[in-house]
Amino acid sequence: MVLPAVKEQILKDLDHLSPEEQKRAAHLVHELISPLPKGTPGKDLLRFSGILDKESADEMMAAVEEAFEQVDPNEW
């Protein structure tokens, strides 16, 4: 059930967005209502526990941090 005041505010806000931003907003709403994909149970992943040595694990963590801990001001 949509709260009337929330719906009204969203529609007002949409009027101030460019067509591309409106498409992004629609995509976000769609993502919010879509079910999450089913993942792998943790017990099935236990066999991978401890397979990396410390040096490899540290290298992987550094790569992840470098790639994903950056802010793109143009993204949103």
Does the pLDDT value for residue 58 go beyond 80?
Answer: yes
Return the structure tokens found at 63: 């790569």
Which of residues 24 and 68 earns the better pLDDT score?
A: 24
Return the structure tokens found at 60: 């992987």
Total-model pTM: 0.46
Residue-wise pLDDT tens digits, 39-55: 999 999 999 998 999 99
Does the pLDDT value for residue 24 go beyond 80?
Answer: yes
pLDDT band at 15 (very low <50, low <70, confident <90, very high): very high
